[in-house]
Chains A and B, each alone.
Chain A
Amino acid sequence: MTNTATQPPRPRAAIAAKTLRTDRWWLAPLLTVLGLGAWVTYATVRVFLQNNYWVEKYHYLTPFYSPCVSKGCDPHAAHFGQFLPDSPLIPYAALSLPFLLLFRLTCYYYRKAYYRSFWMSPPACAVPDGHKTYGGETRFPLIFQNAHRYAFYAAVVISLINTWDAFLAHEKADGAFGFGLGNVVLWVNVIMLWAYTASCHSCRHIVGGRLKHFSKHPVRYKLWGWVSVLNGKHMQLAWITLATLAITDFYVMAVAAGWINDLRFVG
């Protein structure tokens, strides 16, 4: 059998232009760099500020500080104990943040997004890759992208914690039931986080994708169908959750700092 690699490659068409695309193929990678860059900057600043993360009066906790497990946390905001040393270099939620970062970094959608935009491999279809050699995800360090599955399990646990936070936020400091705009913001964020987490490709695989015979597993087949619908929107959910996370954090910060008053419906 002939083998493509044992003979010197025969020439391709000699076309001088690196790409002949005439559309604005650079727009999507540019927007990705700007969007992700802005978000990461905001999140990094917020995580190290170590203030205005908790509204004592209404028990609102921002997701960027959940679970609040540092000795520096406001004890009322610490629902899971305080055991991490208080240091300006250690975020109060240092238990969850690395896993969330790992979850998003190894996410199949974000991989596409940053490989195309930050790494230019390739920047757009039929536009040359910016690198001389290419091994993809076959070797260190990118082979670790396969750990996405573990990050997914961690993300489920963290989503549960965020859901718990949203529940607790209905009990005001005086113990009475409360309901304000902040609760709506927290719930929208939690629901979107669940939608994003459930739409994960690993989730789609675990609930049913790995089966060979759907007919033998009717319940998992149904679940797989639902997850597949969400999965089709995975990219949108990835961006929506970045927005809801930032908005939720900003809202809690604004109320905690006294820049705005929470709009109250009950209590």
Chain B
Amino acid sequence: MASKRQFRVWRGDENGGDLQDFAVEVNEGEVVLDIVHRLQATETPDLAVRWNCKAGKCGSCSMEINGMPKLACMTRMSSFAEDETITITPLRTFPVMRDLVTDVSFNYEKARETPSFAPPAGVAPGDYRMQQVDVERSQEFRKCIECFLCQNTCHVVRDHEENKEAFSGPRFFIRAAELDMHPLDAKTDRKEYAQAEQGLGFCNITKCCTEVCPEHIKITDNAIIPMKERVVDRRYDPIVWLGSKIFRRTS
């Protein structure tokens, strides 16, 4: 059943912009991205939006819907009341390009800075063997679709532009954790790196990254806190230190 609903969409560019009102037809089963497409097909052919898969897998359609960072293609219109006005704005943390499109290159710079997988010595690619129990923690983080909703929501950079240089953000903490927990990764100083170079200490574990992640990755519980604990291990824990002296076991 089609009905007309009220929308407010931010339109503008780096020189300014505002929220504009539209009444748009909504049909059963539609998502917010469908409405944006209908606007493009009708009143505003030049409305800029980034999208690709419309299946929650490419991570392109990140925007803010009623103030919450979300994937437009995964936000069902049925989750709003009939008479509710729905406000659609671009991601706040990144520079705006036009309308709903922002420049997310901050994230690609941070990605380039993050040390990649370090191959184990003496094992040729193709000969890598590992057990499922050993890789399963890392696999959770491989679900990331790089929508950067977590990066956008994290107050460390969202509310403090000046922290962008020192802080890599939750998406890259899960990358560091993924590799640090990887059974074959040969790099041993990822925790020190996370603390010193990625700005792990800026995170105050308030869990907004976890709250907005469309892949339901437990970013804070399974990556950030374990990395903080690994930093503590290295530097401050007497019992772990003693245990490693007495048993001389490798972990």
Contact = CB atoms under 8 A, between A and B. Distances in A.
B62 interface: no
B109 A146 contact: no
Contacts of A138: 199, 201-202
A108 interface: yes
A98 to B, nearest CB: 19
A149 B109 contact: no
Given A10-B103, A21-B66, A125-B211, A136 B14 contact: no
Interface stretch (B28-36, B39-47, B52-60, B155-163): B155-163
B17 to A, nearest CB: 6
Nearest to A142: B204
* Best-buried of A2, A115, A138, A142 by chain B (most CB within 10 Å): A138
A143 interface: yes
B101 to A, nearest CB: 10
Interface in A117-138: 121-122, 125-126, 128-129, 131, 133-138
A126 B163 contact: no
B25 interface: no
Given A213-B251, A221-B133, A11 B159 contact: no
A202 interface: yes
B5 interface: no
Interface residues of A, number: 58
Contacts of A122: 155, 159, 206, 208
B130 to A, nearest CB: 9
Contacts of B239: 153
A203 B213 CA distance: 26
A9 B109 contact: no
Residues of B contacting A: mostly: mixed
Contact of A126 (B69, B90, B162): B69
Interface string A88-121: 0000000000000000000010011001100001
Nearest to B231: A146
A10 B14 contact: yes
Contacts of A128: 155, 158-159
A27 interface: no
B16 A14 contact: yes
* Best-buried of B103, B183, B228 by chain A (most CB within 10 Å): B228
Contact of A115 (B95, B105, B206, B237): B206
* Best-buried of A1, A111, A137, A139 by chain B (most CB within 10 Å): A137
A143 B105 CA distance: 30
A136 B224 CA distance: 14
Interface string B63-101: 010111100000000000000100101111111100000
A213 B183 contact: yes
A117 to B, nearest CB: 10
A221 B134 CA distance: 10
A3 B165 CA distance: 8
B232 to A, nearest CB: 5
Given A210-B229, A213-B134, A215-B134, A126 B95 contact: no
A3 B231 CA distance: 27
Nearest to B8: A20
A176 interface: no
Contact of A13 (B89, B202, B221): B89
Interface string B200-212: 0111111110011
22 contacts: A2-B109, A10-B95, A13-B91, A14-B17, A20-B67, A20-B87, A108-B225, A125-B208, A126-B92, A126-B158, A129-B155, A131-B159, A134-B159, A134-B160, A136-B156, A137-B201, A146-B228, A149-B232, A205-B226, A210-B251, A212-B134, A215-B133
Q: Which 8 A-B pairs have the closest CB atoms?
A: A20-B67, A5-B165, A21-B67, A138-B201, A136-B202, A10-B95, A125-B208, A205-B229
Interface of B: 10, 12, 14-19, 64, 66-69, 84, 87, 89-96, 102-103, 105-106, 109, 112, 131, 133-134, 153, 155-156, 158-165, 181, 183, 199, 201-208, 211-212, 221, 225-226, 228-233, 236-237, 239-240, 251
Interface of A: 1-5, 9-15, 17, 19-23, 108, 111-112, 115-116, 121-122, 125-126, 128-129, 131, 133-139, 142-143, 146-149, 153, 201-202, 205-206, 209-215, 221, 231-232
Given A131-B159, A136-B156, 6 more contacts: A10-B95, A23-B68, A121-B206, A122-B159, A125-B68, A134-B160
